[in-house]
Structure 1
Amino acid sequence: MTATAVLPAGPARPRPLRLTWVQPEDLIGHELRQAAEDGRAAAGIERRWRSAGGASAPDRAGASPSPADPALRALAGQLLDELSLLPCPTAADEPTELTAIQEACGQPPPARGARGDDRDLTSRLEAGWLGRAAGCLLGKPVEKLPLSGIRALARSTGNWPLTSWFTELGLDRAVAARHPWNRRSRATSLAENIDGMPEDDDLNYPVLGLLLLERHGHDFRTTDVARLWLDELPAGRTFTAERLAYRNLLDGIEPPRTARHRNPFREWIGAQIRADVFGWTHPGDPGAAAAAAWRDATLSHTANGVYAAMFTAAAVAAGAGGNSEVHDALRAGLAVIPGRSRLARAVRFGIAAAREEPTGTAAGFATVVDRLHAAYGHYHWVHAVPNAALLAAALTHADGDFSGSICRAVSGGWDTDSNGATAGSITGLLAGTPAALPARWTEPLHNRLATTVGGLDGVGFDTLAARTAALARHHPPEAPAP
């Protein structure tokens, strides 16, 4: 997920800096789209916006091409507030309060604890950190590209079905012109350029989560997460729902309202990419991991955005325990989210679609992906629902194999770096040790992570694993209230 600021094109006529992902005229289109997804009757509000000259939400960018006039911006703010008051038909099946979620799920998966001694756990967690980094890095250069572009780039270099890093070596110039790489990632994430793990929000947030637990322990509250962001997370390193929650904090709005106030991205994937650390530190205890992820997620997300975090934390916890296979991990994730929610239905759809295609090779997975895009292509590419379906399908079709899982997750499009990261984390844990991961994925990382968080730039994954394991040894059996 990338945000940018729109700057003047030349020095002759300077214009004010325009921040992205926060302006009402950019948010209203996304909120109208969210209303269509959750069933709110917003047709009248949409007509008023269109008749006033309002534009649709950008498909992939954070802002419309040009700033709105003051009257249109004021109208957008008014309509955002009106949209927030509309009854939501899906709310009964998709609650955000933890007690309601738990009541909808029934009994959580039993805590099984972690297999092996402290050294086994530390090694397993290092594989999880490395797997997350490698999967993220694989997806970085094609983030934001449509599925057709990802396939064309990989085919042009003989890397389809996807089996290794993307590269420009041998790439047809016409294909490159039609489907340009993510410009921020090209210099650091193509095969010929990789030199350590570059900074990415998919790794910044797990590092932040580590600091959160070191400072506040497993009884942290949502307000502790908010304070940590303000202390350690530059605003420019936040995107979509996190940027709006950050803005809301600066405006004096407190959690959990930070997740709801003028935040049309509250069901997108941002909370999911923060969730791994809660699974890593609750090995073998998916229920406790999900409850911890809920307290983090509700700073910026609601409903399906929260479920994505809980699902991921529970699946990661199952893998971190060392007692599960990938299908157990997926079942653990489904067990902690409401079964009638859109996200749970999408996960089940992804699993079923993957099981209907022959496994063992990646070729048949393209058919699975086409089915997923036909079913969920109307969602934004960063929304949690389609990405959860793709993640579950990739893990199922690859049967938990590390290389197969990250390549399938990235080759399916949508939020490529985030899906690659989560798939890599889960299957890295299942692999059990760093040595069990193919060297072609781990050696280019040079045991080095770039990050702006907490003075940890250049930290090694072995160090992160040791600190994570130290936290995993001590956690309370029950989570406190938010």
Structure 2
Amino acid sequence: MNGPAMSGAAASGPAMSGAGDLRLTWVQPEDLIGHELAQAARDGRDATEIERRWHEAGGHPAPPRAGASPAAATPRLRALAEELLDELALLESPLAVYEPTDLAGIRAMCAAWSPGRGAHGTPPPADAPAGAGAPTHPLADVPPRTACGPQDLKVFGATPAPTAVPAHSAPAPHATEALPRTDPAAGPATDTFTRTAPATRAHPEAPDRPVHTTANTGPARPSPVTVAQLHAAWLGRAAGCLLGKPVEKLPLAGIRALAAATGNWPLRSWFTAKGVPAELTAAYPWNRRSAPTSLAENIDGMPEDDDLNYPLLNLLLLQRHGREFTTAEAAKLWLDELPAGRTFTAERVAYGNLLHGIEPPRTAVHHNPFREWIGAAIRADVHGWTHPGDPTAAAEQAYRDAVLTHTANGVYGAMFVAATIASAAGQGQGQGQGQGQGQGQGTDGDVHACLRAGLSVVPPRSRLADAVRLGIAVAGEHARTDFEPVVDLLHSALGHYHWVHVVPNTALLAAALTHADGDFTGSICRAVSGGWDTDSNGATAGSVAGLLAGHPDRLPERWTAPLKNRLATSVGGFDGIGFDTLAEITHQLAAPAPAPEEAPHP
């Protein structure tokens, strides 16, 4: 995920003649209000009257792809936007019962922290009986949903029934069988959702220090992750990000057409402008900021991207404050080390909130309509890399980072990624047979177990969990076909979300990893070819698949050689650093192997 800090005249260079020339992206109230209205619709909050007032006053909808509208609002309209943002914040969501933001509420709902789990929250095996490891907290009795929010109910043909109380069931949240069939072609779903329990506090005060839930006694143990695995993970994250950069923000049809024009569809290598007809690039222009450094003919090392900046920042966080860092310490580090112009969406809003004296976790909610977008998830890799084999510890560490900027599904996305990566990091060194030169490469890692670990830390009735299960199920049903039908079904079901929202992007990530069976080339190419936030999805897929490959030599050279072991960044002290050095630093920060529990849970 990347984009300009400014748009319009200020971005293009002419001297500014007035306030209207400064179009700072992702923060202007007149642009935020449209996104907050869209978030309210996703949440089932009735904002009809607020929306009417906005439009009658001359307000515009949210920009569909850019971070700012072409022209600034009048002072009167901007003041109204700020007033309406405050009013929207007071509307309660009927989905809050399924989607707590406080860690205690998340733990209570999730299988990873339930009695009967394996050591350190590892999920039951795929063939475990239905309901194994299901949560025992009273909120576990909340009826399951089949959709991802009120507008999704329309897609799947279901209708909300706030007063109905259907029979309860608690399927295992890690099992794909728990997903009702949501293929639109298979007919409408008819399940309902209710509000039968009080909503958990959405924005609690963040604890000063984390509460440990993982055993860590006995003599020191070496980390189960190797430097080679981490090297492959860093390279994988960079290559996947770089693959997606030139087509970020493009619609699905454009990505497919540009790749097909050069014989690169299904996607299997870098995008190139060579041989693409001019009329095609006019219809689907490459990302103007990224194309000069990310098309095949232009790649010369890894250019700067926020998908790599945040892992670097989190290395600094762990170096300075250790794995017990607080959210406040993360916020201070941002102010010290992260240039404001290198932040986007939720991160930029939270950064501005910090500068206005607003403290975490309120930084995540004050005038922040992007709090359930993908930003926290792209910061989560380091939390997984440094807790190999310990998904719950990784998820809790990611939580303390995420609540600086995100809530609910936005936080779950980070926890899901961290736990998935922690599981991959703890699976060994990937003794596959591939030697890194062909279409893919072998791996002994089980990507499906990794995804189950990721789901085990996500509230099972949340929209994020629904979407991930949908992605896994659809990919499984099309395992013997190409990936296009999977993508088409996901876009049909989830295409009403913004292209940077965490829900559709995490569904696509899970589908890509499932369909590719963890293969490196297959994983990053599927993630990018599915559209939406292409560079962020490619980056996370590459991180997981790189870990499972286990060694840089098992990644195809066409992906790693152009990186030239060099990363550009504006995060202080890291510009020009090599991925091998980053792997060494990360390994020094990794937790030791989790201690076995003294006795199994009853």
Question: Shorter-chain TM-score: which interval?
Answer: over 0.9
**Which of 56, 63, 74 pairs up with 2:61?**
56
CA contact (8 A) 2:224 2:388 kept: no
Q: Which whole-Å deviations, capped at 9, do the CAs of 1:182-202 have from their partners, x for residues lacking one?
A: 011111101111111000000
Q: Which whole-Å deviations, capped at 9, do the CAs of 1:83-105 have from their partners, x for residues lacking one?
A: 00011111110000001000000
Structure 1 residue aligned with 2:148: none
Tell me whether 1:92 sits opposite 2:97 in the alignment.
Answer: yes
**Which of 463, 471, 478 pairs up with 2:589?**
471
Q: CA deviation at 1:273?
A: 0.3
CA contact (8 A) 1:3 1:61 kept: no
How many residue pairs get aligned? The number is 472
Could you say what secondary structure the match of 2:7 adopts? coil
**Aligned mates of 2:477, 2:345 — CA distance in 1:** 35
**Gap regions ≥5 residues in structure 1:** 478-482
Could you say what secondary structure the match of 2:322 adopts? helix
Could you say what secondary structure the match of 2:27 adopts? coil
**Which of 3, 21, 25 pairs up with 1:20?**
25
Structure 2 residue aligned with 1:480: none
Structure 2 residue aligned with 1:378: 496
- Classify 1:356/1:82 alpha carbon distance in 2 versus 1 (closer, same or farther; 3 Å): same
Query: Which amino acid in structure 2 is aligned with residue 465 of structure 1?
Result: A
Tell me whether 1:331 sits opposite 2:340 in the alignment.
Answer: no
Tell me whether 1:342 sits opposite 2:345 in the alignment.
Answer: no
Tell me whether 1:318 sits opposite 2:423 in the alignment.
Answer: yes
**Which of 385, 389, 393 pairs up with 1:284?**
389
Write the mapping of 1:137-152 to structure 2, written as runs, cut at 5 A.
137-152=242-257
Tell me whether 1:222 sits opposite 2:327 in the alignment.
Answer: yes
Tell me whether 1:402 sits opposite 2:524 in the alignment.
Answer: no
CA contact (8 A) 1:110 1:287 kept: no
Structure 2 residue aligned with 1:244: 349
Query: Which amino acid in structure 2 is aligned with residue 457 of structure 1?
Result: D
Structure 1 residue aligned with 2:127: none
**Aligned mates of 2:345, 2:418 — CA distance in 1:** 21
- Classify 1:118/1:254 alpha carbon distance in 2 versus 1 (closer, same or farther; 3 Å): closer
Could you say what secondary structure the match of 1:90 adopts? coil
Q: CA deviation at 1:119?
A: 9.6
Structure 2 residue aligned with 1:196: 301
CA contact (8 A) 1:28 1:79 kept: yes
CA contact (8 A) 2:394 2:419 kept: yes
Query: Which amino acid in structure 2 is aligned with residue 98 of structure 1?
Result: L
Write the mapping of 1:266-305 to structure 2, written as runs, cut at 5 A.
266-305=371-410
Query: Which amino acid in structure 2 is aligned with residue 68 of structure 1?
Result: A
Could you say what secondary structure the match of 1:140 adopts? helix
Structure 2 residue aligned with 1:389: 507
Q: Which whole-Å deviations, capped at 9, do the CAs of 1:424-472 have from their partners, x for residues lacking one?
A: 0000000000001000000110111101112210000011000100111
**Aligned mates of 2:244, 2:469 — CA distance in 1:** 24
Query: Which amino acid in structure 1 is aligned with residue 119 of structure 2?
Result: P
Tell me whether 1:415 sits opposite 2:533 in the alignment.
Answer: yes
CA contact (8 A) 2:312 2:571 kept: yes
**Which of 447, 461, 472 pairs up with 1:351?**
472
Larger proportion of helix:
1
**Aligned mates of 1:462, 1:213 — CA distance in 2:** 18
Structure 1 residue aligned with 2:484: 366
Over 4 Å off, 4+ runs: 9-13, 116-120, 474-477
CA contact (8 A) 2:500 2:533 kept: yes
Q: Which whole-Å deviations, capped at 9, do the CAs of 1:102-123 have from their partners, x for residues lacking one?
A: 000044463389xx97696111
Q: CA deviation at 1:64?
A: 1.2
Could you say what secondary structure the match of 2:558 adopts? helix
CA contact (8 A) 1:202 1:273 kept: yes
Query: Which amino acid in structure 1 is aligned with residue 396 of structure 2?
Result: A
**Gap regions ≥5 residues in structure 2:** 123-214, 216-220, 429-444, 596-602
CA contact (8 A) 1:3 1:21 kept: no
**Which of 349, 352, 360 pairs up with 1:255?**
360
**Aligned mates of 2:507, 2:106 — CA distance in 1:** 20
**Aligned mates of 1:388, 1:470 — CA distance in 2:** 29
CA RMSD of superposed structures (Å): 1.8
**Aligned mates of 1:94, 1:308 — CA distance in 2:** 12
Quick check: 300-309 or 172-181, which moved more?
A: 172-181
- Max Rg structure: 2
CA contact (8 A) 2:303 2:567 kept: yes
Tell me whether 1:122 sits opposite 2:227 in the alignment.
Answer: yes
